[in-house]
Amino acid sequence: MIDRFKSVIALCLVIIASFDESQCKLYPISPFPDELATAMFPNERMSLDDCHLRYYKHGKQGLVAPAFGEPAYLREFAHMAAIGWTKPDGTISWKCGGSLVWDNYVLTAAHCVTDNGSSPDVARFGDINIFSDEDDQFAQQLRIVQIIRHPDHRFSTTYNDIALLKLEANVTLHPTVSPACLWKDEDIRFPTLEATGWGDTGFAQERTPTLLKVTLKPINNSECHESYGTSLRRLREGIKNHQMCAGDERMDTCPGDSGGPLQVRLLHNGKMTPFLVGVTSFGSACGNANPGVYTRVSSFFTWIEETIRKEENFPISWNMNPITCALRFVHLREYEDDLIQSRSEDYLSIDGTKAHMTFNYGELNHVVTIGWKNRNVRRNNCSGTLIEDDVVLTLAECASNAGIAASYIELKDPSDRIDIAEIRVHPAYRANSLYNNIAVLKLKKRVKFNSNRTPVCIWYSHNIPSPQLQVAGIGRTDINKLNYGDMFDFVYDPMETYLLPRASVNTNQNCTIPREFLPRLSNGLANEHLCVGNPIFLVPNSCRLVYGAPMQLPMYRTDRFYTFAYGLNSFGRDCGFGEAAVSTRLHSHMDWLKTVLLPNFRTANSVQFVNPDLKEDDLCDYGDDTRGVCTHYERCPKIWDDFNAQRIVHFCSSSRIVCCPKRFILKERLTSDELDSCSAEYRNLHANYYDILQTSSAPHIVTLLGTAASNRCLGSLITKSIVVTAASCVALLNSPRQAAMADGSIAQIRQTTVHPNYDRMRAANDIALVQLQRPIVPTAEVIPACIWTNLTHTPLHLRLYRENTEDPPPQMVTMYNTDCQRDYTQKISADQLCVDQVVPLDPPNSCYHAGDQLVWPEPDNGEDDPSADATAASHVVGFYSYGEQCSSNNPGVFTRISSYVEWIRENI
C-alpha cells in the first residue's frame, strides 16, 4: 500500500526556463497542404471556408519566445506542520499533523491538543523526514504558545473537531514554509482530494518517517453514514453537515495523520496553491477501505477568521479571501505541472509557453460585446464573434433578452458601436435550451479590419486537428498574470481582462457537465456540442466564459496563420477548469450558416429550376439579371463550380442542358495556337521564381511609348508579336508608336486594336492589343508571358508591375468583386477584377497607372512550395483600369483578362 503514496523530497533547484508572458499560448498548427504560391481564389464566393483567402492580408506571421533563469524549490507541502510533545529527555514525539494558515497560526484537529493530559508544545515546518537531519536545511521549529479549541468541541464526541495553535513568532516565509489558503465554499466540486501525514502506512504497520500523500475521493455524507451509522459512542448523531468524508478502495489516512490537511491544489498565476478543504478527524482502522471523516473547513471559516483577528487585533478578512490569499504567497508556490519541461536531481527546466492561462494579446480582437439600447433589458456577458466585416456570430440566447432584440455590437469601448441591421436565429432554437444555440447578426456598417482587428475563420470539419483549443474567458488581471521568481513584486490589480486559457478536447462521453446546466440539456450532449476542459481547478473567480466568443486555434494557411473558430462558448464554469466548458460546434450548423451567408446556396433537398420549353442555344435567365444561353454542361465550367458550391442551377430542356452565362461558354477550337503552348515552349528561358518576385521588371513587360517622352504605360508580350494592355493606356498615348522591351531594345508598332465595346466612362471592356512590326526573338531577357484563361478562379497572390518605378512589384491579393463593390459607387462587372495591397504603399508610390500589369508567377515544377532553384512562367492576369487607391488605399479595379481570351484569339 505504500506505493499509493509519493515521497516528497525538498531540493534546492535551478530553473532553466523559456518564458514570455505574451507567448503562453497555443502555437499555430499546419494541418493544410495549401501554399501561397499556388493558392486559387474563386471568382464568386462559393464556400465559408475562404477566410484565409478573403482576409489573407490580415493573416499574421512570426512567434518567438525568449528565455530566463532563476532559483526555485520544490514546495508542494510548505504549509504542512508536524505537531509534537517534548519529552522529559528533550526528545520530541510527533503525533499529529497540522496546516499553517497564517504566519503564526496552525490549524489542526481539536482532539490533537491533548495526549494523556499533556498538550503539544512545538510545531515543525519545512522538514519532510522528521526523524532525520538530512533534509533540515530549510526546517523551522517554533514553540506553541496558545491552544484555541473550538468552543463547541467536546472530547467525548467527534463533532467540531478543529483547533488553532498560536506560535511564538511568525514563521520565516520561504518557498518551503508558507501558509495554505482556506476553501470557504460549502460546495466541494473536486473529484479527488489529497491527504498528507506521517501516519501508519497500514493497519498494524510502522509509522513512516517521511511525509506521504494519498489521493482520496470525496464521499457524500449519506453514503458515509452507512459506513459508520450511529453505533460509535462519539458519533451518536451520525455524520453532520460540518463534517465530510473521503476515501479510497485501498487506502485511507491513518491515526497518525490526525489534524493533517485534506486539500486541493488550485491553479493561478502559473502556480499551484494548496487550499484546505478538511482537517483529518477520525476513521476506522486505516487501510480497510472505510472512508475517513474530516472536519469541513468551510463550516468554520468565519470562526477561524474571527479568532485570528481578535487574537492579533488585525483585520485579516481581506487577506483570507481566496484570491488575496493566493496572491500573497504566489512567489512561494510550486509551478503547475505543465510548465515543467524536465526534471533531474538538481534542475528543473521550465517552459513558460506551456502555461494553461494567458492574457489576450490580440488573439481575441474578433470578439465584440452585444448590447441593448433599452437599459431595462440589458444582459451582461453576451458577446459575439466577427466572421466577416459586417457579420457576427453569437448564441441564440444572446440575440434577444426579455423579448427585446439586441441593438448593437460594441468593439473596444462604448463609443465604438455599430447598430445591428438584421438578426437571424437558428429556426430550431427554443428559449432556455442549449440546443441549436446560434444566431447571425448582420451589421449596418462594416468593421474596418486592420492589424488590431481581424475576423475569425470558421472551422469547416467535425474533426478537431489539435488535442487542445483556446477558450475565450474573462477574469482579474492579477490572479492570472504568470508569476516567476521568488521575490514578492506582485501588484494587486482586480481589473478584468480577456483571458485565453488552453483546454483539452474531450469526447461527449468524457465530458463533466456542471450540474446547474443539466436541466437545459434534456437529451444530454449532442453532436453539435464541443466539450473541452482541464482536470485542474482554478482559484475561485479567476476566469469565466465569455458567452458567444469562440473556442479557437491559430492555424497556418497560405504561409500565414489565422484564428479558426470551432464553436461558440455556450455553457460551463471557470473557463473549463475542473469541469467542462461546452460550445456550439460551428460545423454542425454549416448548412444553415450557408443559407444565411452565401447567395443562392441550396440545401440537398432544394428544388432545382427546369424550363422544358428552352432548347439548346436558346437565351435564358441565369439569375441576378445575368443573361445566359442554354448550353451543354461540358461547355460551361461555371456550372461545375455552382454544383460544388451547392448554388442554384437552372436547367433547360434536360439535365444535360444548363443555363450558362455567355462569358463562361467555351468555344470549340480545332487547332491550338501560341497562347496554348507558352508555358512549355519557353521553359528553358524562364527566370528563377524568387528573382521574379524581387525585380522591378520581367522579360514579358513592355513599355509602350507615346509621342511625348512622358507618355508611357505598360503592356505584356503574350506572343512573339502581340502585346496586351488596357484600352485606357492606348487612349492615354493617343495610339503608341514604339515599344521598349525588357532588354532595352525598341520595337516599332504596326497597329493597335481596341476592344469594340470599350467604354471609357464605365471602364468597360478596357483591353487592347498592340501588334509589333516584327516578331521578337525569344531570349532569357525577352519572352512572352502566358495569359490566365481560367474563368472561375484567379490566383490569390499576385505581383503588380507598375510604370515609372524601380521598386520590386508589390504583393497583391485577389478579392471578391462583391467585397470590392462596397468601396465604389460605379458598378464593378464580372469582367473586372479587384485586388488589394498586402502591405499598403505610401503615396505617391501607391498610385497605379493605366496598363499596370497584374501577374502570377507559376512555378514550373508545379510545387506548392517552390525550391530555391525553381523557375516560373509568368501569367498575365489583368491590368489596371481604375480606382481610388492613391489617396485612400482602396482596392484597385483591373480588367480580368480571362474574360477576353476568345476575343484575343480572334484578333491575333
Which active-site residues does the annotation give? Answer: 111, 161, 258
Other CB atoms closer than 10 Å to residue 617's CB: what's the count?
10
CA distances, 262 to each of 99, 201, 246, 306, 778 (Å): 10, 17, 9, 22, 85
CA distances, 251 to each of 178, 216, 292, 492, 525 (Å): 28, 8, 10, 41, 35
β-bridge mates for residue 632, sequence order: 657
796 neighbors 36 (Cβ within 8 angstroms): yes
C-alpha grid cell for residue 526? 449532442
DSSP 8-state code for residue 20: -
Half-sphere exposure of residue 90: CA atoms within 13 angstroms, side-chain side:
0
Task: Report, in this order, helix, strand and coil percent for the chain, each rounded to 5.
Answer: 15, 35, 45
CA dihedral 12, 15, 16, 22 (to 10 degrees): -170
CA gap 31, 467 in Å, rounded: 13
Strand, helix or coil at 884? coil
CA gap 289, 232 in Å, rounded: 18
CA gap 853, 699 in Å, rounded: 13
CA gap 736, 740 in Å, rounded: 11
CA gap 255, 260 in Å, rounded: 10
β-bridge mates for residue 498, sequence order: 474
CA gap 602, 478 in Å, rounded: 50
* Residue spans of alpha helices (H) in 668-751: 678-681, 689-694, 727-733
Closest CA to 289 of 203, 381, 397: 203
C-alpha grid cell for residue 424? 437571424
CA gap 62, 241 in Å, rounded: 56
**Residue keyed to cell 487592347:** 768
Give φ, ψ of 618 to 5 degrees.
-75, 150
Separation of first and last alpha carbons in the chain = 91
Q: With residue 199 as reference, give the H or E element that holds it.
A: none
73 neighbors 13 (Cβ within 8 angstroms): yes
Sequence-distant (6+) residues with CB within 8 A of 478 are: 323, 327, 490, 491, 492, 493, 494
Closest CA to 12 of 69, 70, 74, 68: 74
Strand, helix or coil at 818? helix
C-alpha grid cell for residue 465? 486537428
CA distances, 445 to each of 200, 480, 554, 770 (Å): 72, 36, 27, 44
Q: Is 340 exposed, middle or buried (0-12, 13-18, 19+ CB in 10 A)?
A: middle
CA gap 439, 395 in Å, rounded: 5
Strand, helix or coil at 194? strand
CA gap 84, 97 in Å, rounded: 9
CA gap 371, 413 in Å, rounded: 12
Residue 844 preceded by cis peptide, ω within 30: yes
CA gap 283, 294 in Å, rounded: 9
C-alpha grid cell for residue 163? 483547533
